């Protein structure tokens, strides 16, 4: 569904991604694992058209999306949940969701009601100002907001970072259920446990290069790679 081939991305003169390639097939969760600063967010932003690669190609559903703007990628069905959990702090939870709504026309569309069915905790705080939410609630809200755009594909950038273990567990379950709802996911994580539990295949990135790619079982068994490139 998503194919990234040999991309090189820069911030100004700094060369950050080197020949990064990855493929995510429809209906699966793929993880991009790596330490802080490895290039996970830059890969996500490159896919989303926020830091366009200078070389390489990216295609989505079989068509090149090179040069497309973030809003065009959103229209094509890519939802993006950045790592900063930015919500509209002065708006209520409900308004945060409504402002993001984009109907896709087919039957499997997400509405505020179905999002509240999915994230029950959010349904209970529909009227609360988003700025007053806990970290876990804000993360749910940013994912929920992306769902309101009715994506087929979701880029999730470190959704569990900095959250308490109980909250991480809940989010992990919910991300797993997104796959059951037919979403395809690319999940950037430093948290190996979450990524290994959820994913079908795994990529390991370090210093802007993909160092390993394999099935999630192979990655779980490969202690050498995990020790070398990931946090223990
Ligand atoms: N806006 C930026 N300008 C310059 N360098 C950046 C910027 N954002 C990230 N970097 C650098 O790019 C590298 C990869 O960062 P990033 O993709 O955020 O890694 P990760 O998400 O894996 O922690 C790091 O060395 C980081 O310092
Ligand atoms: Mg990051």
Residue 128 inside a domain? The answer is: no
**pLDDT, tens digit, 9 for 90 and up, residues 210-221:** 999 999 999 999
Q: CA 27 to CA 29: how far, in whole Å? A: 7
Residue 136 inside a domain? The answer is: no
Share of the chain above pLDDT 70, in %: 97
pLDDT value, residue 115: 95
Residue 206: CA atoms inside 13 Å, Cβ hemisphere, count? 11
Cα of 155 to ligand 2 centre, how many Å? 12
Residue located nearest, by CA, to atom 25 of ligand 1: 37
Band of residue 102 on the pLDDT scale cut at 50, 70, 90: confident
Q: What is the arithmetic mean of pLDDT over 158-185?
A: 94
Token readout for 12 is 């100004």
Cα of 171 to ligand 1 centre, how many Å? 25
Band of residue 222 on the pLDDT scale cut at 50, 70, 90: very high
Residue 123 inside a domain? The answer is: no
pLDDT at 103 over 80: no
pLDDT at 22 over 90: yes
Mean of per-residue pLDDT scores for the chain: 94
User: Do 230 and 204 form a contact (C-beta atoms < 8 A)?
Assistant: yes
Residue 187 inside a domain? The answer is: yes
Residue 196: its H or E element? helix 192-198
User: Do 218 and 23 form a contact (C-beta atoms < 8 A)?
Assistant: no
Residue 153 inside a domain? The answer is: yes
Share of the chain above pLDDT 90, in %: 91
Domain count, the chain: 1
Q: Which CATH number characterizes residue 57's domain?
A: 3.40.50.300
Name 129's bridge partners. Answer: 92
Q: What is the arithmetic mean of pLDDT over 109-138?
A: 94
Query: 3-class DSSP state for residue 137?
Result: helix
Cα of 9 to ligand 1 centre, how many Å? 11
Q: CA 133 to CA 70: how far, in whole Å? A: 27
**Pocket residues: Cβ below 6 A from ligand 1:** 11, 14, 16, 34, 36-42
Residue 119 inside a domain? The answer is: no
Residue 8 inside a domain? The answer is: yes
pLDDT at 107 over 60: no
Place of tokens 């099935």: 215
Residue 132 inside a domain? The answer is: no
Burial class (CB in 10 A: 0-12, 13-18, 19+), 23: middle
pLDDT value, residue 42: 98
pLDDT value, residue 106: 64
pLDDT value, residue 85: 86
Quote the domain boundaries for residue 26.
2-91+99-108+149-223
Q: 3-state secondary structure string, 36-91?
A: CCCCHHHHHHHHCCCCCCCEEEEEECCEECCCCCHHHHHHHCEEEECCCCCCCCCC
pLDDT value, residue 109: 82
Testing ligand 1's pocket by substitution, the residue of 11, 186, 206 carrying the most ligand atoms inside 8 A of its CB is 11
Band of residue 18 on the pLDDT scale cut at 50, 70, 90: very high
């Amino acid at each position: 569904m998503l194919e990234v081939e040999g991309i090189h991305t820069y911030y100004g003169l700094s060369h950050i991604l080197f020949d990064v390639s990855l493929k995510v097939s429809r209906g699966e969760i793929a993880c991009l694992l790596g330490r802080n600063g490895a290039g996970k967010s830059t890969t996500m932003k490159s896919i989303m058209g926020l830091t366009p690669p200078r070389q390489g190609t990216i295609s989505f559903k079989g068509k090149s999306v090179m040069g497309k703007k973030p809003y065009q990628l959103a229209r094509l069905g890519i939802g993006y949940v950045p790592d900063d959990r930015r919500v509209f702090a002065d708006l209520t939870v409900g308004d945060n969701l409504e402002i993001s709504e984009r109907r896709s026309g087919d039957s499997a569309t997400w509405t505020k009601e179905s999002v509240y069915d999915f994230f029950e905790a959010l349904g209970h705080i529909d009227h609360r100002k988003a700025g007053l939410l806990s970290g876990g609630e804000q993360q749910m809200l940013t994912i929920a907001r992306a769902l309101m755009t009715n994506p087929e594909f979701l880029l999730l950038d470190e959704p569990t970072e900095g959250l308490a273990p109980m909250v991480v567990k809940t989010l992990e379950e919910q991300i797993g259920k997104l796959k059951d709802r037919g979403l395809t996911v690319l999940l950037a994580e430093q948290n190996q446990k979450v990524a290994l539990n959820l994913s079908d295949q795994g990529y390991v990135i370090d210093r802007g290069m993909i160092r390993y790619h394999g099935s999630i079982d192979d990655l779980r068994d490969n202690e050498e790679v995990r020790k070398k490139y990931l946090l223990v």
